[in-house]
Structure formats: structure tokens, C-alpha cells
Amino acid sequence: MRRVLVTGGAGFIGSHFIKHALRVHPDWYIVNLDKLSYAGNPDNLTGLPDPNRHKFVRGDITDHKLVEKLWRDCPAGSGAGFDAVVNFAAETHVDRSILWADDFIKTDVLGAFTLLEAARQFGVNKFVQISTDEVYGSIERGSFSEDSPLNPRNPYSASKAGADRLAYAYFATHNVPVIITRCSNNFGPNQHPEKFMPLFITNAMDDKPLPLYGDGRYVRDWIHVEDHCTAIDFLIARGQLGETYNIAGGNEVENVAIARRICQRLGKPESLIQSVKDRPGHDRRYSLNAGKLAALGWKPQRDFNQSLDATIDWYAANKSWWRKIKGGKFKRYYAQQYGQRL
């Protein structure tokens, strides 16, 4: 058995990655370390393929004693600790990082340090640091490649940039076998309804306003979460140590166009779309050149419009999943963020 530590595996992308990995790698045993923050959701882990090869550990990636224990309890055949570590765990919502950045710096930076340090001391064959395209900042024209300078412009992306470069430093200085991925915006089932697409889809279903920031002409490059997961899996097998890889969907779309399509698909009036106060420091456009990954032989498989429709349909068919989240503490955050009651 190959032993793989996945952190943040009760979140959106981490839970999809675990499902994908259990499906395609019958020889993987996955330890899933997740603190179940407001964004972590055990419901994301129901219906796992072969659940006996998944062990959930509730805990914090900044807890070095616990992290050390996970390594010590991991008798990998190779004697080198985990075969692979994939670090998804992070505070991830830009708007929350603007309200209060403390947890972002703790989890995203100190947490990555704690894992890297354990990897250095106790061994790992591959350490994948899940970074983000947001570390490059905004670009008006053209696209960022892996050697573009980093220019994070909000506390979330700055803390992710810190972790990204710390991971590289552990490769350069300590020979920890690190690979860094920078992916564009993900969408799909099980994404927390604080994020743009699920928020707009679920508000529209309830005939609530869709709070579009500023002029709505901000551009993100969208990738389906399952394409992101296959790219990570591909890089675990084929990525070069010490290298960084952009992962992109190749679907650059303005927010307002997505808001309109959501209304259309759900048969709701576009008058639900309401322009609200803009996000401070709002990055205008993200765009990646993913040629380096394409040259290795990977490209995304999913059509954007079809996947968006399927995603909208998933939220329509899984109301109990998101109502549980939106019915709880989320209401307080929503009132603070949008000045409106949900």
C-alpha cells in the first residue's frame, strides 16, 4: 500500500481529490487530516469508494505534535514516511481574509511550515503544495507563466504566496521533494456557498438577490474540480521535483455572464442580479499560461458550459447539502459581508 497524507480533505477540492484517488489508485491508503473549520464538511466524505482505505483524523495542520504522530504512525514500506503528502488545507475565502486575516496566516503559512518541517525530519517521497493562480495577482492582458513575478494583493493570496515560496525553500535548502501547483478558479459540486458560483446558484433558487461586486466585469479562468484533481494526480506521477506548474481550465469568463447563465438555467429573472459595493483590492483578471503542464501531456477534459449546467443541476438536486450550511452560522457572516439578511 502507498500511504498518502491529504490535508483539508473534508473541504471542496480535497474531498473530490480523495474520491478520485480512491477510485483510480487501489493501492493508496489515505490519511485525511482536517480540522473541520467552518469550511470542512463531513457530508463531503459520504459515499467514498472503498472507505476502508480512508482514515479521517480531525486535527490542525499547525499542531506539530499531531503531525509528527501521523508520521510516526505511518509505517511506509519504503521506510520514508508518507509516499506522498498533498496539502490542500487552508483558509480560502478572499472576502473573509479582508474581514480578518489572522487564521489565514496561521493555517496557510504556519500550517504549510509545520508539514514541510515534518516532511524534512521524517521523510516523504513527494510533497505537493496546492497553491493558487491568485499568487500572481491581476493581469489586464496576456497570461502569467510559472516564472512571472508574484504579486499577491489580498491577505488570502499573500498567505498562499508565503506557503508557495516556503515550499520551494524547503526543496532548495533541505531537498524536500516538493512540487507546487497553481490552479485557476475551481467550480463543481460541494463548493462552500460562500463562493461566487454556489452563492449565486443557491440564492437564485431561493429568489434572493445575487450580489455582484462592482461592474461585474471581473474575469476568472474556470476549471471543473475533477479536472483539477486529475491534474494533481498526473503531477504526482509525472511532475519534476522543485518545479511549479500552472493548472488552468482555459475558460475566461466575466462574472456577469456566469450570473446570467445561472438565472437562465434556473428560470429566474436577471433582475435578481444586483450590483453591490466592490471588494477592496479586487483583482480584475486572472489568466494562466499552462503550456508547461500541457507539454508534459495533460490538458483539461471538460466543456465549460456543460459542466456549469451540470453544477447548477447538482445544487438544485442537493438542497439539503447546502441548506444545512446556509441555515447555520453562515447567516451572521452574510449579514456582515453584504449588509443584507439571507
Q: Which residues bind ligand NAD (CB under 6 A)?
A: 7-8, 10-14, 33-37, 39-40, 60-62, 88-92, 107, 111, 130, 132, 160, 183, 185-186, 192
Work out the angle between the directed axes of helices 196-205 and 319-326 (0-180°, nearest 10).
100
Cell triple for 232? 494533481
Q: What CA–CA distance (Å, rounded) separates 89 from 262?
A: 29
Q: What CA–CA distance (Å, rounded) separates 88 from 129?
A: 7
Residue 122 phi, psi dihedral angles, 5° rounding: -110, -5
Residue 213 partner contact from ligand TYD, ligand NAD, none using kind-dependent CB cut-offs of 5 to 8 Å: ligand TYD
Residue 61 partner contact from ligand NAD, ligand TYD, none using kind-dependent CB cut-offs of 5 to 8 Å: ligand NAD
1: number of Cβ within 10 Å = 12
133 a catalytic residue: yes
Q: Which is nearer to ligand TYD, 114 or 143 (CB)?
A: 143
Q: How far is the CB of 39 from ligand NAD (least distance, A)?
A: 3
Q: Which is nearer to ligand NAD, 85 or 89 (CB)?
A: 89
Q: Which is nearer to ligand NAD, 89 or 272 (CB)?
A: 89
Under a CB-based contact definition with an 8 Å cutoff, are residues 243 and 293 in contact? no
Query: CA angle at residue 138 from 215 to 236, to 5 degrees?
Result: 125
Q: How far is the CB of 158 from ligand TYD (least distance, A)?
A: 13
* Contacts to ligand TYD by CB under 6 A: 94-95, 134, 185, 195-196, 199, 211-213, 218, 220, 255, 279
* Catalytic, out of 83, 133, 194, 233: 133
226 a catalytic residue: no
Q: How far is the CB of 132 from ligand TYD (least distance, A)?
A: 8
- Burial profile 240-260: b = 16 or more Cβ within 10 angstroms, e = fewer: eeebbbbbbbbbbbebbebbe
Query: CA angle at residue 8 from 7 to 14, to 5 degrees?
Result: 100
Q: Which is nearer to ligand TYD, 97 or 125 (CB)?
A: 97
Report CA Rg, the chain: 19
Q: What CA–CA distance (Å, rounded) separates 234 from 232?
A: 5
Residue 116 phi, psi dihedral angles, 5° rounding: -65, -40
* Catalytic, out of 34, 91, 108, 156: 156
Q: How far is the CB of 207 from ligand NAD (least distance, A)?
A: 26
Q: Which is nearer to ligand NAD, 8 or 239 (CB)?
A: 8
177: number of Cβ within 10 Å = 19
Name the one residue in this structure whose C-alpha cell is 470542512: 40
Helix (H) or strand (E) segment spanning residue 244: strand 244-247
Q: How far is the CB of 20 from ligand NAD (least distance, A)?
A: 13
Q: What CA–CA distance (Å, rounded) separates 331 from 315?
A: 19
103: number of Cβ within 10 Å = 16
Residue 212 partner contact from ligand NAD, ligand TYD, none using kind-dependent CB cut-offs of 5 to 8 Å: ligand TYD
Helix (H) or strand (E) segment spanning residue 276: strand 273-276
Residue 199 partner contact from ligand TYD, ligand NAD, none using kind-dependent CB cut-offs of 5 to 8 Å: ligand TYD
Q: How far is the CB of 189 from ligand TYD (least distance, A)?
A: 15
Q: Which is nearer to ligand TYD, 133 or 233 (CB)?
A: 133
156 a catalytic residue: yes
Residue 39 partner contact from ligand NAD, ligand TYD, none using kind-dependent CB cut-offs of 5 to 8 Å: ligand NAD
The catalytic residues are 133-134, 156
